[in-house]
């Protein structure tokens, strides 16, 4: 028996959990028609197989029709969900993990122009900034109806074989009752703390009447809104005590903060560059004050912090939720003493930012997560060993090298720089984005383990590649910044890379023309603004930096607003003229009729990269497939077999930004899905 | 003003070195090689002097096999202007031989300042800069943590035991870099590309007027050994037991 605190079993009422690591409730937005079907089940089953003690499903499963999902959530107000839940719980139980689900009514945290077009309801008319709906103030019959909906949904989950449920009370209807900021009701549900808690206790009573006292019911709630006039920590502790004393709650899953704005949400669920485990001590204080079983998750990405959380008695079960999106087999690797092989969550938050934009959760650097039905987490060995030459050691090239190494091939990587990483290393030059380099470091460690050979400082020419006698050549050379986008004066502008790499010193009065809307533009702006320079970020888009997305934007805004950066949307830089030391920017608009001239001393253009593809086109005529990649084979998951030139000497493929500017996930997905079948 | 910077190709500092089976040296097959970190600091300092307008040209010199051109390209990508490769093939050149070659290059290039790393992380000799200074009869400022250059002299803050020492050297002079002098820049892909086009002159010791006797090794490597493997530790239950073991087993009390 291991003496690792993380590997000790835990008894929660009648439920024995095999260790202390859980995934807290989260909605990866994989439901189909609101039901957890194949993809959903495969995702959770993979993590159960990987050894997690318990997976908690469905962030925000909707108990009522007037709680339409803001993204693709489970609809547990439907009876038809029960058999799907049964399939899900069976699949997870089969691998020895427990499974629970989170139920909620979103209250004002949704929109009325969805599903059944029912008005959004809340205990006040106060609008939530994030979802913008002006709510109807709840009436008596709304409250009765919703209490019953909770009980009905709980019963469905019990019937579906769930080991328990938790109720969501941070930013949703339940704590909209609790918080003085969002409850304008008079008694019996508004006013005093007693009254504001009445709804929660009515819901708990109704659920207990329906599911009995044995079924596990917990509360995931905010113990401190961290907002002026919001729910105070004193009230949070009082609520914790009352939940404990009610005897109706079996565990407390502690959250701290508020989620009604992007910055609030990001403080609750911090992203890269922000402090790790910021709310762990607070969760520990609640555990100490109540003696209740406490769960907690909030940027606990590494095993060492998780171990500390449990060993120090701050929590009973530690949530490593985003960490499990990156590596579903964390617990297995701990048990097998392979902790150093855990693929690290870098806090890029691609997962969450995507779901809040209506996409499905994907991990920036594990393209198999959420694609368990088509992409392997454990790469099978190939039947025949081949020689791979990969040009470029950025994210695409390293993923290709890692996967080819796992397949058992002989792999040589040629890299122009002295160090691996490509654009990821460039991005990691910014202090706040340093964690990104783990994407590279983990792959380098894996490649070393797999015997991949690297040749650095090697600007590969076609001859260098062919001299290796490869069977497969993969071009993952990325690109160079593309700044030639103006009608005239391209020679007067510089790229974001020039600033991020430190090659060009920031000016004093700078325009960042951001036509790509990704991290590079904001990173450059941040570096310049920090020198005290005047910075204007201009974009022809309706909103700036759309590719950066909501939560990732928060730290940038906190820096840039404090440094008085100007944000100019819907304008386009057309041309630049040099006049002595002054750069005259000619500014137009896609909406037409604008022709302004403004003066700066430095102008930066962010417009993605132009592929560095010379070597690809040089090798192309000598390849069997003439570079062609069969999209059908790629999508269907079979080996590439295009023959366009029977005299060719090798298969040739191009991936990542060497094809076109995309992002790190695209580069890694390109590599994984191509190479897993080669 | 011209600055000459010497750069050496060494085993990358991240590599866990292995000794060859026969104990004749370090196994370099398939091992990642990089620019010596102290030399990288030297290149960075020279490029910064150029950016500050105090220097017109930064020339790199590397001595070793043809592969040392990689190391020159790394420095060129950081912003140096051109390179000189003195090809000694596989001959193991020792600090004095290196200093003699550098002397010839220095006489040829006539720089006002030569910057070198204080030592290379492979042999840790820490001799070349001092030897070059003696051969040239130029002043030396070693272990620099700060370098301030003007037209006729260079002020060097040196890291010495117990503190810092500031010396003023008249030019031309030799400076060797310590770890804290600067943080070398990130060489971005566009600069690596530009570096491909920068000129690298290739010379041999003979072309510099040095005979075999000038550069042949004077030392014989008798043996190369890996450090002893670390023994597994033990856990003690009480402080008394710890003290007992420290006294009677470890013999350190």
Same domain, yes or no: A146 and A269: yes
Residues of B in contact with A458 (CB under 8 A): 70
Q: How far apart are CA A369 and CA B40, in angstroms?
A: 40
The mean pLDDT value of chain A amounts to 97
Whether A306 shows a pLDDT value over 90: the answer reads: yes
User: Quick one: pLDDT at residue B16?
Assistant: 87
* A41-55, A243-257, B217-231: range with lowest mean pLDDT: B217-231
CB A456 within 8 A of CB A417: yes
Q: Are residues A334 and A401 in the same domain?
A: no
Last residue of one domain, picked from the residues A551, A583, A607: A607
Do A289 and A333 lie in one domain? The reply is: yes
pLDDT digits (tens, 9 = 90+) for A120-147: 999 999 999 999 999 999 999 999 999 9
Instruction: Report pLDDT for A584.
Output: 98
Residue A365 within any structural domain of the chain: no
Q: Give DSSP secondary structure letters for A33-97.
A: TTB--HHHHHHHHHHHHTT-SEEEEEEEEE-STTS--SSS--BTTSTTHHHHHHHHHHHHHHTT-
Write out pLDDT tens, residues B55-111.
999 999 999 999 999 999 999 999 999 999 999 987 889 999 999 999 999 999 999
Closest CA of chain B from A305, distance in Å: 24
Query: By three-state DSSP, how is residue A268 classified?
Result: helix
Distance from chain centroid for Cα A336: 27
Domain count of the fold of chain A: 3
Whats the size of chain B, residue-wise? 253
| Residues A509, A403 share a domain | no
Using the predicted structure, report yes or no on whether residue A558 has a pLDDT greater than 80: yes
CA separation for the pair A242, A202 (Å, rounded): 13
Q: Over the stretch B20-60, which tens digit does the pLDDT of each residue have?
A: 988 888 898 888 999 999 999 999 999 999 999 999 999 99
- A399-416 pLDDT per residue, tens: 999 999 999 999 999 999
How many Cβ atoms are within 10 Å of A307's Cβ, its own excluded?
19
Give per-residue pLDDT as tens, A58-93. 989 999 999 999 889 999 999 999 999 999 999 999
Domains (range + CATH), chain B: 2-248 (3.40.50.620)
**Domain containing A572 — which CATH number?**
3.50.50.60
Chain A interface, best mutation among B189, B192, B193, by max A CB count within 10 A: B189
Is A503's CB within 8 Å of B70's CB?
Answer: no
Residue B232, pLDDT score: 84
Could you give the 3-state DSSP secondary structure of residue A451? coil
Averaged pLDDT, A262-269? 96
Least confident of A252-256, A357-361, A396-400, B113-117: A357-361
Q: Is B53 on the interface with A (CB under 8 A)?
A: no
Q: Are residues A330 and A430 in the same domain?
A: no
| Same domain membership, residue A467 and residue A488 | no
In CATH, what number is assigned to the domain containing residue A412? 3.40.50.720
CB A290 within 8 A of CB A245: no
Q: Which of A306, A334, A356 is the last residue of a domain?
A: A356
pLDDT tens track for A422-479 = 999 999 999 999 999 999 999 999 999 999 999 999 999 999 999 999 999 999 999 9
Query: Is the CB of residue B191 less than 8 Å away from at least one CB of chain A?
Result: yes
A233, A235, A238, A240: CA torsion to nearest 10: -60
Name the residue facing B186 among A456, A502, A505 (closest C-beta).
A502
- Distance of residue A480 Cα from the nearest chain B Cα, in angstroms: 7
Q: Is A463 domain-assigned?
A: yes
Please report where in the chains the tokens 């105070």 appear, as a residue: A232
CATH of residue A316's domain is 3.20.20.70
Instruction: Using the predicted structure, report yes or no on whether residue A244 has a pLDDT greater than 90.
Output: yes
Strands B33-35 and B9-11 come out as antiparallel
Preceding omega of B87 cis (within 30 degrees of 0): no
CB contact under 8 A, A456 and B196: no
Q: How far is CA A385 from the centre of its chain?
A: 36
CB contact under 8 A, A480 and B189: yes
Q: Which residues 612-671 of A are in CB contact (within 8 Å) with B?
A: 612
Q: How confident is the model at residue A514 (pLDDT cuts 50, 70, 90)?
A: very high
Per-residue pLDDT for B214 more than 80?
Answer: yes
B36 in A contact zone (CB under 8 Å): no
Chain A residue at shortest CA distance from B40: A418
Residue A409 and residue A488 in one domain: no
pLDDT of residue A370: 97
Q: What is the pLDDT of residue A282?
A: 97
Q: Tell me if chain A has a CB within 8 Å of the CB of B50.
A: no
Q: What is the pLDDT of residue A268?
A: 97
Could you tell me how many CB contacts below 8 A there are between chain A and chain B? 57
| The two structure tokens encoding residue A49 | 């197989």
Q: How far apart are CA B219 and CA B94, in angstroms?
A: 8
Closest CA of chain A from B218, distance in Å = 32
pLDDT at B229: 85
Residues A275 and A414 in one domain: no
Q: Is it true that the peptide bond before A188 is cis, omega within 30 degrees of 0?
A: yes
B226: left (phi over 0), alpha (psi -120 to 50) or beta: beta
Report whether pLDDT(A1) > 80: no
Q: With respect to residue A363, please indicate whether it lies within any of the assigned structural domains.
A: no
Chain-centroid distance of CA B129 in Å reads 9
**ipTM topping 0.90:** no
Residue A212 lies in a domain: yes
Residues of chain B with Cβ-Cβ distance to A454 below 8 Å are 32
**Residue B110 half-sphere exposure toward CB, CA atoms < 13 A:** 1
Q: Are residues A289 and A403 in the same domain?
A: no
- A582 with A620, same domain: the answer is no
User: From the CB of residue A291, how many other CB atoms can be counted at a distance below 10 Å?
Assistant: 8
Tell me what pLDDT residue B251 has: 84
**Enclosing domain of residue A404:** 387-480+611-675
Clarify whether residues A442 and A492 are in a common domain. Answer: no
Q: A577-610: buried (b, 16+ CB within 10 Å) or exposed (e) per residue?
A: eeeeeebbbbbbeeeeeeeeebebebbbbbbbbe
Chain A touched by B73 (CB under 8 Å): yes
Q: Is A449 in CB contact (< 8 Å) with chain B? A: no
A160 touches B: beta carbon within 8 Å: no
Chain B's closest residue to A426, CA to CA, is B188
Per residue in A191-207, pLDDT (tens digit) is: 999 999 999 999 999 99
The whole-number pLDDT of residue A400 equals 98
Taking all residues of chain B, what is their mean pLDDT, rounded to a whole number? Answer: 94
- Tell which of A607, A639, A662 closes a domain: A607
pLDDT at A427: 96
Residue B183 at interface with chain A, using a CB cutoff of 8 Å? no
Q: Compute, in degrees rounded to 10, the torsion defined by CA atoms A147, A150, A156, A157.
A: -150
* A379 CB-near residues (< 8 Å, 6+ apart): A403, A406, A407, A676
- CB nearest to A457's CB, from B51, B74, B188: B74
Pairing of strands A294-296, A251-255: parallel
Distance, in Å, from the CA atom of A555 to the CA atom of A538, rounded to the nearest integer, reads 19
Q: What is the pLDDT of residue B21?
A: 87
Q: How many residues does chain A have?
A: 678
Tell me: do A83 and A215 sit in the same domain. yes
Q: Is residue A655 part of a domain?
A: yes
Q: Pairing relation of β-strands A479-481 and A410-414?
A: unpaired
φ, ψ for residue A207 (rounded to 5)? -65, -45
């Amino acid at each position: 028996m291991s003496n690792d605190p993380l590997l000790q079993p835990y008894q929660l009422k009648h439920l024995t959990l095999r260790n202390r690591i859980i995934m807290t409730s989260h909605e990866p937005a994989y439901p189909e028609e609101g039901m957890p079907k194949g993809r959903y089940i495969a995702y959770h089953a993979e993590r159960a197989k990987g050894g997690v003690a318990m997976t908690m499903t469905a962030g925000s499963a909707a108990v009522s029709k007037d709680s339409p999902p803001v993204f693709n959530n489970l609809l547990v107000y439907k009876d038809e969900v029960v058999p799907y839940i049964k399939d899900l719980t069976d699949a997870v139980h089969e691998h020895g993990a427990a499974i629970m689900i989170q139920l909620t009514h979103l209250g004002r945290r949704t929109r009325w122009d969805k599903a059944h077009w029912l008005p959004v309801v809340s205990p006040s008319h106060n609008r939530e900034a994030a979802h913008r709906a002006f709510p109807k103030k709840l009436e008596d019959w709304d409250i009765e109806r919703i209490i019953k909906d909770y009980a009905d949904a709980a019963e469905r989950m019990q019937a579906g074989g769930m080991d328990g449920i938790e109720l969501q009370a941070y930013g949703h209807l339940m704590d909209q009752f609790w918080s003085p900021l969002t409850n304008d009701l008079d008694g019996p549900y508004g006013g005093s703390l007693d009254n504001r808690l009445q709804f929660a206790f009515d819901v708990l009573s109704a659920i207990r009447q329906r599911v009995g006292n044995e079924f596990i019911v917990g509360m995931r709630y905010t113990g401190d809104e961290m907002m002026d006039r919001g729910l105070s920590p004193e009230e949070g502790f009082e609520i914790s005590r009352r939940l404990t004393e009610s005897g109706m709650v079996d565990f407390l899953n502690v959250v701290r903060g508020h989620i009604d704005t992007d910055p609030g949400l990001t403080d609750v669920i911090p992203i890269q560059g922000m402090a790790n485990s910021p709310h762990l001590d607070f969760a520990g204080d609640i555990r100490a004050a109540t003696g209740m079983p406490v769960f907690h998750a909030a940027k606990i990405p590494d095993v060492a912090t998780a171990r500390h959380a449990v060993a120090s008695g701050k929590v009973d079960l530690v949530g490593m939720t985003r960490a499990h999106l990156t590596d579903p087999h964390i617990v297995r690797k701990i048990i097998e003493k392979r902790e150093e092989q855990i693929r690290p969550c870098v806090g890029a938050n691609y997962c969450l930012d995507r779901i809040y934009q209506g996409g499905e959760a994907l991990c920036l650097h594990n393209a198999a997560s959420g694609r368990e039905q088509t992409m392997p987490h454990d790469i099978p060995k190939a039947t025949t060993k081949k020689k791979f030459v990969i040009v470029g050691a950025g994210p695409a090239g390293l993923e290709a090298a890692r996967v080819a190494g796992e397949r058992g091939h002989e792999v040589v990587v040629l890299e122009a720089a002295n160090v691996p990483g490509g654009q990821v290393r460039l991005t990691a030059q910014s202090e706040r984005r340093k964690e990104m380099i783990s994407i590279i470091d983990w792959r380098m460690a894996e490649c070393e383990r797999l015997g991949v050979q690297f040749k650095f400082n090697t600007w590969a020419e076609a001859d260098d590649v062919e001299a290796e006698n490869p069977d497969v050549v993969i071009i993952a050379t990325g690109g160079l910044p593309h700044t030639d986008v103006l009608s005239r004066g391209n020679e007067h502008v510089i790229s974001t890379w020039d600033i991020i790499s430190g090659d060009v010193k920031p000016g004093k009065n700078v325009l960042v023309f951001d036509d790509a809307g990704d991290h590079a533009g904001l990173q450059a702006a941040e570096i310049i603004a920090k020198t005290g320079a005047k910075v204007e970020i201009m974009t022809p888009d309706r909103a700036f930096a759309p590719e950066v997305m909501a939560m990732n934007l928060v730290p940038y805004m906190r820096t840039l607003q404090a440094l008085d950066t100007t944000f100019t949307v819907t304008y386009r830089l057309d041309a630049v003229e040099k006049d002595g030391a002054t750069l005259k920017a000619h500014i137009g608009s896609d909406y037409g009729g604008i022709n302004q001239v403004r003066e700066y001393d430095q102008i930066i253009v962010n417009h993605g990269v132009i592929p560095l593809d010379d070597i690809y086109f040089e090798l192309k005529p000598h390849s069997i497939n003439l570079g062609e990649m069969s999209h059908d084979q790629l999508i269907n998951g079979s080996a590439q077999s295009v023959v366009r030139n029977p005299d060719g000497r090798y298969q040739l493929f191009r991936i990542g930004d060497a094809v076109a500017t995309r992002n790190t996930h695209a580069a890694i997905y390109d590599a994984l899905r191509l190479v897993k079948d080669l | 003003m011209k600055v000459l910077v010497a750069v050496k190709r060494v085993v990358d500092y991240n590599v866990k070195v292995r000794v060859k089976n026969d104990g004749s040296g370090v196994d370099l097959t398939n091992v990642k090689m990089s620019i010596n970190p102290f030399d990288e600091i030297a290149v960075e300092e020279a490029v910064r002097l150029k950016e500050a307008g105090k220097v017109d040209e930064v020339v790199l010199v590397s001595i070793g096999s043809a592969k040392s051109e990689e190391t020159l390209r790394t420095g060129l990508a950081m912003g140096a202007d051109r390179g000189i490769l003195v090809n000694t093939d596989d001959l193991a050149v020792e600090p004095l031989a290196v200093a003699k070659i550098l002397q010839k290059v220095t006489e040829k290039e006539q720089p006002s300042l030569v910057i070198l790393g204080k030592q290379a992380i492979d042999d840790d000799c820490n001799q070349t800069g001092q030897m070059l200074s003696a051969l040239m009869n130029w002043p030396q400022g070693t272990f620099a943590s700060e370098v301030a250059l003007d037209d006729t002299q260079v002020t060097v803050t040196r890291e010495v035991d117990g503190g810092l020492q500031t010396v003023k050297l008249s030019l031309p002079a030799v400076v060797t870099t310590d770890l804290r002098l600067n943080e070398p820049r990130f060489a971005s892909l566009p600069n690596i590309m530009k570096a491909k086009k920068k000129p690298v002159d290739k010379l041999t010791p003979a072309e510099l007027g040095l005979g075999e006797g000038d550069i042949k090794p004077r030392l014989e490597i008798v043996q190369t050994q890996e450090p002893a493997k670390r023994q597994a530790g033990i856990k003690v239950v009480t402080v008394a037991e710890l003290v007992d073991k420290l006294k009677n087993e470890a013999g350190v009390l």
